[in-house]
Structure 1
Amino acid sequence: MKIAVLGGGNGSYAAAADFVEAGHEVRWWRRRSADFQGVRDNDGIDLIDHAGTRTVPVTTTDDLALALDGAQLIVAPTPAFAQEDLARRLAPLVADGQVIYLPPGTFGSWMMMKIMRDAGCSADVSVAETGTLPWLCRKQGDAAVRITTRASSLPTGVMPARNTAHAIALISEAFPAEIGALDDALSGALMNAGPIIHPPLILMNAGPIEHFDRWDIHNEGTQPAIRAVHAALDGERMAIREALGYAGPHFPLDDHYNTSNWMYGNLAHDKLVGSGDWHEKLNLHDHRYMSEDVGLGLAFLVSVGEWAGVPCPVAAGLLAIASAASGTDFRAGPRTMAALGLAEVPVAELQAQLRDGIA
């Protein structure tokens, strides 16, 4: 299959390497050709995982039209705050039948589709999103990536939902994980694990994060009191899903820590801690755990709870603390239901858009 990989973060490195190794025809796009210099000098990406280390040759380009030409699947593991610019770039270039996959999305599926339609895009394109990045991974310099483990399950919602069968079939061809079809893109957005895992970890570990040069929020920073907040916060997420009529499984975060039933499967948390890659320096003002998972993801979750009439005091409290700590009013951020123009839209009306598409 022809796949375009967009972006230059940890997930994009992992995607490009994994897809090439699986035998797909891959073009990897970044905004600036110079950002690929390390990969070009290395003749590919050094992929490090349980099987060892090997160099995977990749085709790179800064020409988005070339990257998309003939691609059936467009995988964009970029931070959510990059999606608006990406949608504007994609609008004149995407074609009928193409599927854009956001792993994860933070309701970027709806936002990107709206931007593309407003820009005049009429292609019958689908935007899908899932609940986590398909790889626990970290870049090791400019030309290498270490994949600690790969997702075993990727529950996925598609915008518009009428294209679900087509989109799920293409995504399933690219990923060995089980791609579970959800009702729609909002259900996919409400599977996003980042706003559940990371806000308690960074806010309740703020002292050691700012004191020590490096701190592992997943090892020393994951203590029973924080896990209790995780459980309460995740309970609010699942209550919102149920209020909107979305059936289980809801992939409770407890399963990540206690069972093999979560999106990363068996012993994922132990593997993450054991790698040492998350023993790192975190800046609470600009790290994506704050800018993306709090500023976009948690703000979105709180706003959906308010829209759906579901109390979410833990989520709202964490959002308030994060706003005070960072000096940013996250409730006024760009990914709330109000900012998306949806705060006054009835549930049934939005779900019709999610099913049939945005005109």
Structure 2
Amino acid sequence: MLKVFDSSTFPYACRAGDNNHVFIHGRKHVLPLAPLFRRDKDVLTLIQDEIKPIPFFIVEDIFKLGLMGNNAVLHPATVLFNVNSIDKARPFQFYKEGNSQKTTLLHEAIDKERLLLAERMGYSLKTNVAMLNQLYGTNFKDHNDLFQNFSVYAQVKAPTTLKHRFLAEDAAFSLVPLLALAKLYELELPNIQSMVQIFSTVMGVNYLENGRNLSGLTVELIESLSKPTQILTAPSISVFVKANKITGSLEDTDKVQKPLMSKL
């Protein structure tokens, strides 16, 4: 049976170059992984170390993993303070030259809102900088320290257009889901909300409508997916998922997984 897992990052800090080249700036020390279905998390312990690119850091469920993503904190805020230079394709080092002590206060504020949402959902997460320290084996104290002194980030050049994954992905598919989850849990994230609105105006795209707004997702479904699924027998599996109102005996897990995945 196929088991599906996800990660919040890559084993390598890298960028695509010309002529099919890939530039690897750094290698992470651990790789966070979470199962699509929480009951499968122990499968990762069966994988031999010899075939792992780096050691695995097992996260209980995909919602916690999603809240651990670094890009939502790192990229959009840096782009925001450098819209003019990026739009005019002026070259600069994205993290080191694109930030200052003052601008990184926005990164810290976004991170605090991310942690607040995680706490409301029942998760205890590390700060973004602490998580990056764990991934890279570093010891930076805050985002300004990270941006100014991390050799891996010092090599990253700024994009030369605003039509870049730092917005197309990280605003639409990182910030918008945070807002969607916050709405479900009756929580306000003012800095993230403002950033999404500003980028929607600048780019002429309604990110709340066109991004990953988690339409159809409910708190009940989140809770059902973030807890171990009750498995009674196999291959005939009896399940009960309140949020989806799925009941009865199903012959294979595909029939269980597909309705749940369609909600994500």
Give TM-score, length-normalised by structure 1. Answer: 0.57
Q: CA deviation at 1:273?
A: 3.8
SS of 1:126's equivalent? coil
Higher relative contact order (CA 8 A, sep 6+): 2
2:137 is equivalent to residue 265 of structure 1: yes
Q: 1:231–1:312: structure 2 CA closer, same or farther, 3 Å change rule?
A: same
Q: Give matches, 1:128-147, under 5 Å.
A: 128-147=5-24
Structure 2 counterpart of 1:351, one-letter code: E
SS of 1:225's equivalent? coil
- The answer to whether the 8 A contact 1:187-1:241 is kept is yes
Unaligned runs of 5+ in 2: 140-145, 230-255, 260-264
Structure 1 counterpart of 2:225, one-letter code: Q
State the identity %: 22
Distance 2:20 2:88 in 1: 31
- The answer to whether the 8 A contact 1:202-1:289 is kept is yes
How many matched pairs? 223
Structure 2 counterpart of 1:251, one-letter code: K
Distance 1:263 1:189 in 2: 16
Q: Give matches, 1:1-359, under 5 Å.
A: 96=1, 125-167=2-44, 169-170=46-47, 174-247=51-124, 250-255=125-130, 261-266=133-138, 270-275=150-155, 278-284=156-162, 286-338=163-215, 341-342=216-217, 345=218, 347-354=219-226, 355-356=228-229, 358=257
- The answer to whether the 8 A contact 2:12-2:27 is kept is yes
Distance 1:185 1:134 in 2: 18
SS of 2:134's equivalent? coil
Distance 2:130 2:37 in 1: 29
Q: 1:178–1:222: structure 2 CA closer, same or farther, 3 Å change rule?
A: farther
SS of 1:263's equivalent? helix
Give TM-score, length-normalised by structure 2. Answer: 0.76
- The answer to whether the 8 A contact 1:129-1:156 is kept is yes
CA deviation profile, 1:166-212 (whole Å, cap 9, x unmatched):
13543965435342222211111111111111010001111222234
Query: Bigger CA drift: 261-270 or 218-227?
Result: 261-270
- The answer to whether the 8 A contact 1:196-1:230 is kept is yes
Q: 1:233–1:173: structure 2 CA closer, same or farther, 3 Å change rule?
A: farther
Q: CA deviation at 1:348?
A: 3.7
Structure 1 counterpart of 2:185, one-letter code: A
Q: 1:209–1:349: structure 2 CA closer, same or farther, 3 Å change rule?
A: closer
- The answer to whether the 8 A contact 1:156-1:179 is kept is yes
Distance 1:246 1:223 in 2: 31
Q: CA deviation at 1:336?
A: 1.2
Unaligned runs of 5+ in 1: 1-95, 97-124
Greater than 6 Å deviation, 4+ residue runs: none
Q: 1:287–1:169: structure 2 CA closer, same or farther, 3 Å change rule?
A: farther
CA deviation profile, 1:123-145 (whole Å, cap 9, x unmatched):
xx332222222211122323432
Structure 1 counterpart of 2:207, one-letter code: F
Q: 1:167–1:273: structure 2 CA closer, same or farther, 3 Å change rule?
A: closer
Distance 1:287 1:169 in 2: 38
SS of 1:220's equivalent? coil
